[in-house]
Chain A
Amino acid sequence: MRAGPASGTDRYHHEVVLHGADEEFLAVVAPFVREGVAAGEPTIVALAEHESALLRRALPRGAGVSWLSRAEQYRTPASAIRTYREQFAEAFRAGVPQVRLVGNVPHHVAAWSGWVRYEAAVNQAFAALPVWSLCSYDTRVTPRAIIDDVVRTHPHLVGPDGTRRPNPGFVDPEEVLTERMRAPLPAEPGPAVLVLDDPSPAAARHALLGTAPLLDRDELEDLVLALSEVVDNAWVHGVPPVRVALWTGERTVVTVTDTGPGPSDPYAGLLPAKGSATAGLGLWMAHQLDREVTLHRGAGGFTVRMTAGPS
């Protein structure tokens, strides 16, 4: 029997606690974890270092909690969705009634665009799974705009005193994702070092390699693959002309623009599109491999922006 507020359903229960003190964090999160372990429910924790340390001290030794490295688990938004789904699937194969999850995604401002998409998309990605997840955000260090997004993407709220209630400020995830796609492209630090008009995937790959970006081999291979797949997508699903632009420096940025409206699926890139042959799989892979991939829909068409290098 599934414990907690989603008892009696087999749906995902996604809630957030906005706390302003370590004591408030512990008052909500520690019982959530303790009760999960006591009920024999697999309980996963992926928290920032400070919160992790607080929670470890509050729990008995050997409490049977799965502690994940936050850096690894939240490598990219799309990879976090994939690896959580793998872990959930494994747990449910063992026949448990519920999995609990405590997490806080990286929320520095530069990468937030990806993580707000994650917070919206998990509502769909985990919808059919009896998972109870508790996200925690520290209002002392989280910018106001990010807190606003957090409120829009969590259907359930937990007060610092532990009271639980449905969130009237929750917004349909598809609306959040579509809105994100309308965000303008960020300004690059200078003019592009290279602009290619209507390149083939091979021409785009060779041009990127030709600029000798300051990336390690794995990062470069990942970016080359992502670029090739995205250019391929632009030709197959987009509307020409197709333009590739490239910025090098400490970080490497590549944009691929076609003049079409972009994918109609708001989850494009975040969830593998298995139903429709392999359409969307290329974009999904780019999201898995490259740390920062954002989608932009504007008057000029649809742009995929990919970034690699130190963040």
Chain B
Amino acid sequence: MVRGATGTAQEGQSYPGRHAASAAELAGVAAELGAGVRPGAVEVVAVRSVYGADAVVEPEAQVRTYAAATNAAVADGFTGLRVAAEITTLVRTTAQRDAFARYEQRIDRFMTRHPFSAVCAYDREVLGVAALAELACVHPAASPGATPFRFFARDGVDAVLGGEIDRTARELLARTLDRAELAPRGDELVVDAAELGFLDHRGLLLLDELGHREEAVVALRDAPAVVGRMAALLGLARIRVDTVGTTVDTIGTTT
């Protein structure tokens, strides 16, 4: 059994993936990690057996797989499921990365509502800085310098946007917003912007485009006041900025 800080038991899985591990190697890792804990608490499997070798993941199907595994772990008496995975082989090509980044955002939303958590490991040297940023930016936490901003799920809001967005992050943000595939529940997409350190006007225009695409108003909650001033100046129909204590509504502003 893997014991967390609160003493709760969670089932763990580990997927070493840098090289194709042999069955014997996997068994060795499992024995090492599982020493002294409840049988079945630690499971070590090859990445290819979960996702297929050099696979392009199917985001929706992969979430279902982990949902089933989480349910099974809970049914077995565990409090949840944790996964630590080294998945560089799944994100080497552009097509793989696109699918996986979409999956990352879906599973991230799943995690906010279910007893499932994960640590993803990617090989910086294999992927390079730009590819790594595409993956790092959709995690609530990432290695220092891996991404200029973070866009991830949190219970109670549609997304959290933190960090700094300027020209250097523009393409990354556009791609990330596209991959988010957010389905607004009403006519609003609530984005927690309390950790947003900087947003330039082009970044704000991307969020406005997201609103147009999703036919929703993007509500930036707890954003820096300057974002509200910028939105009012640009007269963006799909942006509402709720700064701390005030609401700057730009709908209907003429320019």
> What residues make up the interface of A, taking CB atoms closer than 8 Å to B?
82, 85-86, 89-90, 200-202, 205, 217-218, 221-222, 224-225, 228-229, 232, 235-236, 272, 278, 281-282, 285, 288-289
Contacts and interface: CB of A to CB of B under 8 A. Distances in A.
B226 A201 contact: no
Nearest to A217: B225
Contacts of A235: 167
Interface of B: 148, 164, 166-168, 198, 200-202, 205, 224-226, 229-230, 233-234, 254-255
Contacts of A217: 225
A203 to B, nearest CB: 11
Nearest to B235: A86
Given A201-B166, A218-B226, A278-B202, 8 more contacts: A90-B254, A202-B148, A202-B168, A221-B224, A232-B200, A278-B205, A281-B201, A289-B230
Contacts of A281: 201, 234
B255 A225 contact: no
Nearest to A85: B255
Contacts of B148: 202
A232 B198 contact: no
B198 A228 contact: yes
29 contacts: A82-B255, A86-B254, A201-B168, A202-B166, A202-B168, A202-B198, A205-B166, A218-B225, A218-B229, A221-B224, A221-B226, A222-B226, A224-B198, A224-B226, A225-B200, A225-B230, A228-B166, A232-B200, A235-B167, A236-B167, A278-B201, A278-B205, A281-B201, A282-B200, A282-B201, A285-B230, A285-B234, A289-B230, A289-B233
A89 B254 CA distance: 8
Nearest to B169: A202
Nearest to A222: B226
Contacts of A202: 148, 164, 166, 168, 198
B200 A229 contact: yes
Contacts of B234: 281, 285
A71 to B, nearest CB: 18
A282 B199 CA distance: 12
A218 B148 CA distance: 23
Contacts of B226: 218, 221-222, 224-225, 289
Contacts of B255: 82, 85-86, 272
Given A217-B225, A236-B167, A285-B233, A228 B254 contact: no
B94 to A, nearest CB: 25
B229 A222 contact: yes
Contacts of A272: 255
A89 B201 CA distance: 24
A201 B224 contact: no
B102 to A, nearest CB: 28
A162 B171 CA distance: 59
A205 B225 contact: no
Contacts of B168: 200-202
A288 B167 CA distance: 20
Contacts of A86: 254-255
Contacts of B205: 278
A89 B229 CA distance: 21
A289 B225 contact: no
A205 B230 contact: no
Nearest to A86: B254
Nearest to B199: A225
Nearest to A218: B225
A232 B167 CA distance: 7
A11 B200 CA distance: 36
Q: Please provide the 7 A-B residue pairs with the shortest distance between their CB atoms, ordered closest to farther.
A: A221-B226, A201-B166, A232-B167, A86-B254, A288-B233, A225-B226, A89-B254
